[in-house]
Amino acid sequence: MTNKIMKWVSWSVFLAFLAVYPKLFGIYYTNVFVTFAIFALYAVTLNLLLGYTGLLSFGHAMFFGAGGYGTALVLTHMKGVSLSMALMTGFLSAVGLALILCPIMVRVSGTAFAMLHLAFGQLMYVLSLKLRSITGGEDGIGGFPIPSFTIPGIVFVNMKAPENFYYFAIAVLGASIWMLWFFTKTPFGSIQVGVRDNAMRIDYLGFKVPQTKAVVYIVAGGFAGVAGSISAMFHNLVSADGALHILNSFVPVMMTMIGGIGSFFGPIWGAAIFQVIEELTSRYTQRVELVVGLILILVIMFTPMGFVGILRSIKQKWTTYKIRRKS
Amino acid sequence: MDPTTAMYVAQGIHGLAYGMVLFLVASGLTMIFGMMGILNLAHASFFMLSAYFCYQFLSITGNFWAALLLAPVATAFFGVLLERFLLRKIHAFGHVGELILTVGVSLVILAGVKIFWGTESLPVKVPPILHGLVTIKGLDYPIYRLFVIGLALVVLAIMALLLYKTRLGKIVRAGVSDADMVNALGINMPLVFMFVFGVGTWLAGVAGVAIAPILTVFPGLADQMGMDAFIVVVTGGFGSLKGAFIVSLIFGELSAYGVQFFSQLAPVLMFLFMAIVLIIKPMGLFGERE
Amino acid sequence: MNILETKGLYHDFSKLQVLFDVNLQVKEGERHAVIGPNGAGKTTLFNVITGTYHPSRGQVFFKGKEVTGARPHEMTRLGMGRSFQITSTFGRLTAFQNIRLAILSKKGIRFQFFRKVDSMQAITEETDQVLKRINLDRERNIPASMLSYGKHRALEISLALATDPDLVMLDEPTAGMSKDETHYAVQLIRRLTEGKTLVIIEHDMDVVFSLADRITVLHYGQILATGSPFEIRENQAVKDAYLGALEV
Ligand SMILES: Nc1ncnc2c1ncn2[C@@H]1O[C@H](COP(=O)(O)OP(=O)(O)OP(=O)(O)O)[C@@H](O)[C@H]1O
Ligand SMILES: [Mg+2]
**Arithmetic mean of pLDDT over chain A:** 89
Residue of C9, C13, C224 to test ligand 1 pocket, by largest number of atoms within 8 Å of CB: C13
Residue whose CA lies nearest to ligand 1 atom number 5:
C13
Residue C197: give its domain's CATH number.
3.40.50.300
CA distance C75 to C53: 13
By the 10 Å C-beta count (0-12 exposed, 13-18 middle, 19+ buried), B60 is classed as exposed
pLDDT mean over A45-63:
92
So what's the pLDDT on residue C248? Answer: 42
Which residue type occupies B28? G
Minimal Cβ distance to A197: which of C52, C93, C116 = C93
Per-residue confidence band for C89, with pLDDT thresholds at 50, 70 and 90: very high
User: Which residues 110-129 in chain C show a CB within 8 A of chain A?
Assistant: 110-118, 120, 123
Residue A77: is its pLDDT beyond 60? yes
- Output the CA B252–ligand 1 centroid distance in Å: 43
Half-sphere exposure of C65 (CA within 13 A, CB side): 8
So what's the pLDDT on residue B217? Answer: 92
pLDDT mean over A137-146:
88
pLDDT mean over A26-51:
93
Per-residue confidence band for B290, with pLDDT thresholds at 50, 70 and 90: very low
Are the C-beta atoms of A272 and A36 separated by less than 8 Å?
Answer: yes
So what's the pLDDT on residue B46? Answer: 96
Instruction: Assess A108–B contact: CB distance below 8 Å, yes or no.
Output: yes
Residue A282: partners with Cβ closer than 8 Å, 6 or more residues away: none
> CA of C164 to nearest chain A CA: how many angstroms apart?
11
List pLDDT tens digits, range C112-158.
Answer: 888 999 989 999 999 999 999 888 989 999 999 999 998 999 999 99
So what's the pLDDT on residue B74? Answer: 96
How many helices and strands (H and E) does chain A possess?
A: 12, 4
Residue whose CA lies nearest to ligand 1 atom number 8:
C44
List pLDDT tens digits, range A223-261.
Answer: 999 999 999 999 999 999 889 988 899 889 889 988 888
CA distance A135 to C149: 59
Residue B218: partners with Cβ closer than 8 Å, 6 or more residues away: B119, B120, B121, B122
Enumerate neighbours of B (3 or more CB pairs within 8 A).
A
So what's the pLDDT on residue B260? Answer: 64
CA distance B231 to A120: 10
By the 10 Å C-beta count (0-12 exposed, 13-18 middle, 19+ buried), B190 is classed as exposed
CA distance B44 to B105: 11
Per-residue confidence band for B261, with pLDDT thresholds at 50, 70 and 90: low
Instruction: Assess A202–C contact: CB distance below 8 Å, yes or no.
Output: yes
> CA of B164 to nearest chain A CA: how many angstroms apart?
29
For residue C23 and ligand 1, the question of a CB distance below 6 A is answered with no
So what's the pLDDT on residue B193? Answer: 84
CATH class of the domain defined by B3-280: mainly alpha
Q: Domain count of chain C?
A: 1
**How far apart, in Å, are the Cα atoms of A241 and each of A124, A135, C207?**
11, 12, 67
pLDDT mean over A116-145:
87
Q: CA C95, A197, A251, A163 torsion: positive or negative? A: negative
Judged by DSSP in three states, A107 sits in coil
So what's the pLDDT on residue A194? Answer: 94
Are the C-beta atoms of B27 and B157 separated by less than 8 Å?
Answer: no
Nearest to A124 by CA among A168, A204, A196, A60: A60
List pLDDT tens digits, range C158-197.
Answer: 999 999 999 999 999 988 888 888 888 899 899 888 889 9
Q: In what order do the strands lie in the sheet with C167-171?
A: C80-82, C167-171, C197-201, C31-35, C214-219, C222-227
Residue B87: is its pLDDT beyond 70? yes
For residue C41 and ligand 1, the question of a CB distance below 6 A is answered with yes
So what's the pLDDT on residue B134? Answer: 77
- Sorted by where each begins, the domain ranges of chain B are 3-280
Q: Are strands B139-142 and B133-136 parallel, antiparallel or unpaired?
A: antiparallel
Q: What is the largest CA-CA distance in chain C?
A: 62
pLDDT mean over B54-58:
94
Judged by DSSP in three states, A263 sits in coil
Residue whose CA lies nearest to ligand 1 atom number 29:
C39
ipTM above 0.95, yes or no: no
Which residue type occupies C147? L
Structural domain span for residue C40? 2-247
So what's the pLDDT on residue B259? Answer: 66
So what's the pLDDT on residue A116? Answer: 82
Residue A160: partners with Cβ closer than 8 Å, 6 or more residues away: A146
So what's the pLDDT on residue A138? Answer: 85
So what's the pLDDT on residue B262? Answer: 62
Q: Provide, as residue numbers in chain A, all residues whose Cβ is less than 8 Å from the Cβ of B107.
A: 250, 289-290, 292-293, 296
Nearest to C159 by CA among C52, C39, C72, C51: C72
End-to-end CA distance of chain B: 49
Distance of CA A324 to the CA centre of its chain: 42
**What's the per-residue H, E or C state across B103-163?**
HHHHHHHHHHHHHHHCCCCECCCCCHHHCCEEEECCEEEEHHHHHHHHHHHHHHHHHHHHH
Nearest to A125 by CA among A74, A72, A56, A66: A66
Helices (H), B166-217: 167-177, 179-184, 189-215
pLDDT mean over B255-278:
72
Minimal Cβ distance to A116: which of B96, B99, B278 = B278
End-to-end CA distance of chain C: 32
By the 10 Å C-beta count (0-12 exposed, 13-18 middle, 19+ buried), A232 is classed as buried
CA distance A138 to A134: 12
**Arithmetic mean of pLDDT over chain C:** 90
So what's the pLDDT on residue A153? Answer: 73
Residue A80: is its pLDDT beyond 90? no
CA distance B254 to B248: 10
More confident residue, B182 or A209: A209
Nearest to B277 by CA among B254, B258, B256: B254
More confident residue, C10 or B234: C10
- Output the CA A178–ligand 2 centroid distance in Å: 46
Nearest to A253 by CA among A64, A126, A123, A69: A64
- Output the CA C86–ligand 1 centroid distance in Å: 12
Enumerate neighbours of A (3 or more CB pairs within 8 A).
B, C
